[in-house]
Each structure stands twice: as C-alpha cells, then as structure tokens.
A and B are shown apart, each in its own frame.
Chain A
Amino acid sequence: MRVARWVPPVTMALALGGLAVSIYLTIAHYTDPDLLVCSDSGTVNCSAVTTSAQSTFLGIPVALLGLVWFVAMLALSLPVAWNATSRNVHLVRFAAALGGIGFVLWLVYAELIIIGVICLWCTIAHVLAFGLFVVVVTTAPDLLSEE
C-alpha cells in the first residue's frame, strides 16, 4: 500500500528541521552554551537546561542523541522508505517514533518539573519530533497490516 502523497515530503521536512535544530544544540553543547540565541533568565532559559544534569543521558549529550534520531528519521522518511515493500522498514519507523516521543516526554518532564525552565530550541525540536510521531503512528496501521 502506498501512503498519501503528502506523507514523505512532510516527514522529510519535519526530520530536516529537527536535524538542523539538533545540530545547533549539539554545537552549543560542545562549544559554548551561550551560543544559543535564547533568553538566559526567567522561564525561558536555554543554557540552564543545556548545562543541567539532565542534558546528558548515560553520559551522552541529549542534543547528540536528538541529532542521531533525526538522521535516522530522515532516512526512514525518504520516499523509497515509505514505499518499501518490506514490513520491517515500517516497523522500525514506528518503533523509532514511539521511542523518540517517549524520550521527548522525559525531556519535557525534566525541563518543566526538575529544572523548572524551558529551553526554546529544545522545545522546537520536541514539537518537530511530535509532528513526526503523529504522522508515523497514524499511517502505521495501514502499512503494518499489509501482508
């Protein structure tokens, strides 16, 4: 079954946007947190988030994890991947979307509840990841139910 024509370009755009933001956050993580064009006081405070204990997961910067995830989602959003006859491709995309949104929920919890401030750029990445999640999970039943 072929997906709707809008699905590949939309998911590619979301993944590309997320990738760009992740690259920006990763560079800031490894160089200077103040590189981010963002407020550094009040409720929106990027550097408070990107330098917090929650900015790494198992020792890996979450910005880098986001970058890797968006690269994978970009590959899985190419037209050739959407039109793949192998059910496994669609299964991997579905699992990646679920795992990604799960991690996003943890990061949102960390920002709002643990750290108490919001990172603007992180939130943009989260919204793009949520967009990918919505498209992937709503198209998954048709793709995964095919013989």
Chain B
Amino acid sequence: MANKKRKSTASKQRAKARQQQQRAAAGRAAQDAGSESTASAARQSIRRPGDRPPRAPRRRRRSRTPWVLVVGVVAVVGSLVVMFLTRTDDTSRGDASAGSIEKLTSVPATTLEAVGVPAEPSNVHRLPSGTPAVEQDGKPVVLYVGAEYCPFCAVERWPVVVALSRFGTFSGLESTTSAPPPETLPNTPSITFSGSTYTSDHLVFSSVETQTRDFTPLDTPTDFQQRLFDTFNVEPITGSSGAIPFVMIGNLYAWAGSQYDPGVLDGKDFDQIANALANPESDVAKEIGGAANYLTAMICQLTDDQPADVCSSAVIQQAKTALPTA
C-alpha cells in the first residue's frame, strides 16, 4: 500500500517537472521570436504528443473564374464556327409542310377583309394611257418575270399567289427559298412559279423564273414575255432598267421590286408565314394581305370587276380609290 502511494507521488512529480520544462521551452521560443507573446500565446505554442505540426502559411489560391469565362467565350465561338461550317444551304424546294401551299392559295376572304390595305400602294406605277391591251386567248394578262435566287421575287410571290388565287386556281406550286448567303435577304422562303400552272376564267397568268436559286438558267421567257419586259420595265415607267421581279397588270399597272417590307418574313420559315397569313392580327397577314388586296383591286379593274364576290368587297373598293391614275 505504502509502495503504491510512493509510486503515485513519484509519477505526479515527473508530470509536474515535464509541464515546467514545456512552459520554460515555450517561453524561450516566444523570446527567441521577439514576440510580445502572452501566456496565452505561449500556451498555444505548446505541442502535445499527437498534435499536427503547424502548417506553413498557405499561398492565396488564385480564382479560376476568369479562365472559366475565357474558356466559355472560346467554347461559344467554337460552337458558332462549327454551326457555320456544317450549315446546309439546301433549304430549297419542297420544304413546306403538307397543306401549307393550300393555306397560301386559300386565305379566307374575311382575313383579307380584316387586314385592309395600307394608305397607298407601294411601288406601283400606272402605265401610260393609250398602252394597248395586253391579252392572250382573249383574256387580260398578268405578267410576272423573276428568278428563284432573287430575294425580292421571293417576297413578291406571296401576295401575287394570294391575289391570283381569288381569280383562278394554281397547281404544281412548290415552296422554295431565295439564294443562300451572301445574297441579300438570304434564304427568303417563297413559292416558285416554275413548273406550276394557273387556270382562270378571267385572266391569263404568264410567269417565268429565269434562274434557279443557285443561278443556273431555268425557264426561258417567251417572246411575248420578253417583249413586255423590254418595253415596260424601263426607267420612265417602273423606275428601273430591267430589275426583277417585274409584275405587269395588263395594260394598267407595272412595277419592279416588291410591294411591302421584306422584314416581316425575316427569321420565318414557309410554314410559319403560311400559318400567319390566316391571322389578320399578324404583321405577315397585314403586309402580304394588304399588298394582295391592292393586287386584287388592280386585277378587278382588268377583269371588269369579275368575279363579283371578290371585286365588290369593301376593302377592294377602298383599295381601288387609292390606286395611281394615269
């Protein structure tokens, strides 16, 4: 028992001596460092068995965010380049969904009535009085001369088809687009008249597309078409010297170019335009429908207001009053 007590006392003395040594060492360390350390600081420097060695001061880690931004920009540009290099320019014939052509050739009369007409027709010129009648098979002629590559032809065909569909029937119409970049208004969706036929009790539609969208020759104008083009698509009448599209409404009106703002077609495909035509609130319907109403009013003058149900409508009567006179 006494032996056990002695052992315990000796153990306590050794522990006390060890603590004193450690405190003395800590104090020396603080002095060596020239620090104004307090007892607390000294206690902190005491390392016990099992303690981790103090870490060396860590260098501030540099943010990766800037390089993430740089890599992000490079990735976006790289993606755009890949899209550019792999794009297809074959958005040509037949891209319209089934039924879209029919929507174009059967725009409801109520829609055309609702869209009305702009205050005055754009780009329309009255042919000089005394211009001889332009007829085939005893019917007045509406002439169109254009080309599939031509963006303004693409723009103009929309109202031409809408208007002519009120006087007769198209067949064989196909969708197409104008020439790819770098042409102006590239890939403008439209219809081609090449390969189509038009029948009407009231008029003859004479059309020719002279080149494809990749500028290869397509249809050759007949002598009749070429003569009208050369005679009437001249500076004093249309303000141009052979520009296309060239449209001639019998011996009454002619123009070169489009009748409305091509911007309404920007970014839209054939189906979107065809669908928008049925909505009188859409810009597409207002622009194309408005131009079609003026075209209809001009053709009505040519057909002696036939068919009556078309030519007697309020909007067509209104359009007639705004047409240029000789």
Contact = CB atoms under 8 A, between A and B. Distances in A.
Interface of A: 41-42, 45, 48, 53, 98, 101, 105, 108-109, 112-113, 115-117, 130, 133-134, 137-138, 140-141
B83 A113 contact: yes
A48 to B, nearest CB: 4
Contacts of A115: 181-182, 186
B80 interface: yes
- Interface range for B: 20 to 34
Interface of B: 62-63, 65-67, 69-70, 73, 76-77, 80-81, 83-84, 87, 180-182, 184, 186, 263, 266
B83 A105 contact: no
B66 A113 contact: no
Contacts, number: 51
Which residue of A53, A112, A141 has the most chain B CB atoms within 10 A of its CB atom?
A112
Interface of B is mostly: helix
A141 B66 contact: yes
Given A113-B80, A138-B67, A105 B186 contact: no
Given A108-B77, A112-B81, A48 B181 contact: yes
A116 B87 contact: yes
B217 to A, nearest CB: 20
21 contacts: A41-B182, A48-B182, A105-B73, A105-B76, A105-B77, A108-B77, A112-B80, A112-B81, A112-B83, A112-B84, A113-B80, A115-B181, A115-B182, A116-B87, A116-B181, A116-B182, A116-B186, A117-B181, A137-B69, A138-B67, A141-B63
A98 B72 CA distance: 12
Name, among A48, A101, A116, A134, the residue most crowded by chain B CB atoms within 10 Å (CB to CB): A116
B73 A133 contact: yes
B77 A42 contact: no
Nearest to B183: A48
Interface of chain A, helix or strand or loop or mixed?
helix
Contacts of A105: 73, 76-77
Nearest to B266: A53
B182 A137 contact: no
A107 B230 CA distance: 42
Contacts of A133: 69-70, 73
A116 B180 contact: yes
B126 to A, nearest CB: 32
A130 B182 contact: no
B121 to A, nearest CB: 24
A72 B69 CA distance: 21
B59 to A, nearest CB: 13
Contacts of A45: 182
Given A48-B181, A105-B77, A113 B70 contact: no
